Amino acid sequence: MKLWGGRFGKATDTLVDDFNSSIRFDARMYKQDILGSIAHSQMLGRCGVIPKEDADLIGKTLKEILADIEDGKVEFRIDAEDIHMNIETILIERIGDVGKRLHTGRSRNDQVALDIRMYLRDEIDTLSELLKTAMRTVLSLADKHSGAIMPGYTHLQKAQPVSFGHHMLAYFEMFKRDLSRLSDCRQRINWMPLGAGALAGTTYPLDRESVARELGFDGITHNSMDSVSDRDFVIELISCLSMLMMHLSRFCEELILWSSNEFSFVEMDDSYSTGSSIMPQKKNPDVAELIRGKTGRVYGSLMTILTVMKSLPLAYNKDMQEDKEAVFDAVDTVKLCLPVFTNMIATMTVKEDNLLAGAKGGFTNATDVADYLVKKGVPFRESHAVVGKMVALAIEKGKALDEFTMDEFHACSSLIEEDIYEAISMQTCVDGRDLIGGTATARVRKEVEAGYAFLDAQK
């Protein structure tokens, strides 16, 4: 008979057992479920709600069940529905009536809210570590290539020269925000819902605060209906993960472009590339593509849970069981992607010569020619127009602006002197942007140092 079978005259149809059951995917919360139950039963014993000896036997047996699960000795049952009732059923099988006291003053509704919060809190810690490792690798690339000049793009058209280090640091900043979003999200997750009962609270004098302390929560939740019925923290986490994946995906997209013959800015290591079953010459950036692709999957999970939660009346509804596959898949996907991403970028070769050659094409120093004229007293709008004509002339002649002869320069503006060549060299263009946040090599070096300090200061 089901743990809740008292009022039923018939067994559940096996189709319904199957349909209703979440054990296939919520079994992974076994540890959080057991730790929560130990804390709950101990508290029941302390508060005199159940005999202390019973609390101790429950606690001891739950620990044994945990060990048995970890040793692969336990088989969960579909007809016991979910991880919560599976563990309770095993407990009752082992210690009979004493085990039946565990669920006093508790509902699966506050229990599942507790378990998922504890589970996601642990996963956020793992994800943050993986992200920090990725960040350290991004930073070491910025460090190694802090002075390597490459074209910066807008509209995927060459715009102004930047350093490869600066480009890497752009991603470092994004990942820093991703990390802080995860930590914010963890703070909002870390409130202890037990005591909410099914929805209204409970008549037993539970010491909620002590359970919260024991389980490492920052405090307890303050509305029983909210405690069991919201999953905003699940949405928030998947949203943080979606943004993280969006950043990974943009990075990967650039690597895919840069690995192409047309760009040839980087080359993936053989161990992080794949071949074609028909074209012998191919070396494909599958790893980067797959990370880009899996981003869609994480967005899908976000859409799933947003849609599941929309319009649910308070308080608990079974619809909410659908939160788990979505959030587990999102977490698993990011946990899968981050280490592969880290190793992929750690092993790739950056072709500095090609980066520089790329920067030299496409008139990336045109803004600097205009700025040169501004320094000679020409209003910027006017110098913009003069240089525009100069670019048209350069295209006609098939040369770069810094390949102009003095005569060619003078044909455009009489104010240009010999110092123009120095003023518009790629190095000057980069190093001239020497304000906080700029691409100047000295600035990039400082930001790299700040990046290491940031990572070292993380606990």
Query: What are the catalytic residues?
Result: 155, 276
Q: Does 318 bind ligand ARG (CB under 6 A)?
A: yes
- Angle at the Cα of 323 from the Cα atoms of 322 and 328, rounded to 5 degrees: 115
Q: What one-character-per-residue DSSP string does 219-247 give?
A: EE-S-HHHHHH--HHHHHHHHHHHHHHHH
Determine, following the binding rule CB under 6 A, whether residue 7 of this chain makes contact with ligand ARG: no
| Calculated CA dihedral for residues 234, 240, 244, 249, nearest 10 degrees | 70
Nearest in space to 138 (alpha carbons), one of 146, 149, 147: 146
Q: Which of 194, 320, 355, 359 binds ligand ARG (CB under 6 A)?
A: 320
- Based on the shown chain and the rule CB under 6 A, indicate whether residue 234 belongs to the binding site for ligand ARG: no
Stretch that binds ligand ARG, among 11-19, 90-98, 107-115, 255-263 (CB under 6 A): 107-115
Can residue 112 be called a binding residue for ligand ARG (CB under 6 A)? yes
DSSP label at residue 160: E
Distance CA 64, CA 71 (A): 10
Segment contacting ligand ARG by CB under 6 A, of 132-140, 306-314, 316-324, 349-357: 316-324
- Rounded CA-CA distance 102/412 in Å is 88
- Alpha-carbon gap, residue 333 to 76, rounded angstroms: 25
Could you say whether residue 108 binds ligand ARG (CB under 6 A)?
Answer: yes
CA distance linking residue 342 with residue 128, whole number of Å: 13
Q: Is 316 in the site for ligand ARG (CB under 6 A)?
A: yes
Q: What are phi and psi of 213, to 5 degrees?
A: -60, -45
Residue 323 beta carbon to ligand ARG: minimum distance, rounded to whole angstroms: 7
Measure the CA–CA gap between 58 and 91, rounded to whole angstroms.
8
CB of 157 to ligand ARG, least distance (A): 51
In whole angstroms, the minimum distance from the beta carbon of 316 to ligand ARG comes to: 6
* Contact indicator for 157, 113 with CB cutoff of 8 Å: no
Q: What is the per-residue binding string for ligand ARG in 242-281, x denoting contact by CB under 6 A?
A: ----------------------------------------
Please classify residue 161 by burial: count the beta carbons closer than 10 Å to its beta carbon, then call 0-12 exposed, 13-18 middle and 19+ buried.
Answer: buried
- Contacting range for ligand ARG; rule: CB under 6 A; set: 35-43, 106-114, 140-148, 208-216: 106-114
- CA 252/CA 292 separation, integer angstroms: 6
Nearer to ligand ARG, 146 or 301 (CB): 301
The single residue among 32, 37, 42, 109 that binds ligand ARG, judged by CB under 6 A, is 109
| 22 near ligand ARG, judged by CB under 6 A | yes
Nearest to 342 by CA among 378, 291, 298, 308: 291
Work out how close the CB of 307 gets to ligand ARG at its nearest, in angstroms, rounded to a whole number: 16
Q: Which stretch binds ligand ARG (CB under 6 A): 5-13, 248-256, 312-320, 449-457?
A: 312-320
Nearer to ligand ARG among residue 207 and residue 322 (C-beta): 322
Q: Does 49 bind ligand ARG (CB under 6 A)?
A: no
Q: Note whether 80 binds ligand ARG by CB under 6 A.
A: no
Of 143 and 319, the one with the shorter C-beta distance to ligand ARG is 319
- Distance, in Å, from the CA atom of 364 to the CA atom of 359, rounded to the nearest integer, reads 7
Is the Cβ of residue 25 or residue 191 nearer to ligand ARG in the bound state?
25
Min separation Cβ 459 and ligand ARG, Å = 32
Q: Least distance to ligand ARG from the beta carbon of 14, Å?
A: 18
- What gap in Å lies between CA 418 and CA 131, rounded to an integer? 49
CB of 314 to ligand ARG, least distance (A): 14
- Residue 110 three-state SS: helix
Q: Of the candidates 304, 321, 333, 441, which one interacts with ligand ARG according to CB under 6 A?
A: 321
Binding mask 137-176 for ligand ARG (x = CB under 6 A): ----------------------------------------
Sign of CA dihedral 398, 404, 410, 415: positive
CB burial string 3-15: b at 16+ within 10 A, e below:
eeeeeeeeebeee
Residues forming contacts to ligand ARG in the complex (CB under 6 A) are 22, 26, 82, 108-109, 112, 316, 318, 320-321
